[in-house]
Amino acid sequence: MNKLDQRLNLSRAELKERFRQTTALRSVLDKGGEFDFFDVSYDAIREVFGKIEKTDFDGISSMAPFFASKHNIILDIIKEHHRRG
């Protein structure tokens, strides 16, 4: 586990709720329309985890799973929002 996940130590459900409350994600969900998924995701991740430093990871290989897992949670939130209409 990387230092960022260790610092917050949140379950997937808790993390999903934190992402839902971010300004970055709220603005997209409230406005709708087109947006850059990776920009919004990165902003939401930074809102939850704070400034991200390369020292938070053991190496580049641990960065990819961290960001991919967070992107998947954010994508789930967006899909759920669109299903509700």
Identify residue 23 by its one-letter amino acid code: T
Confidence of residue 21 (pLDDT cuts 50, 70, 90): very high
Task: State the average pLDDT over residues 22-40.
Answer: 93
pLDDT of 28 above 80: yes
Quote the CA–CA distance of 51 and 57 in Å, as a whole number: 13
Helix 60-84 and helix 37-49, axial crossing angle in degrees, nearest 10:
110
DSSP letters of 23-85? HHHHHHHHH-S---HHHHHHHHHHHHH-S--GGGSSSHHHHHHHHHHHHHHHHHHHHHHHHH-
pLDDT value at residue 69 = 96
Indicate the pTM of the whole model.
0.90
The pLDDT score that the predictor gives to residue 33 is 85
Q: Which two tokens stand for residue 61?
A: 């290989």
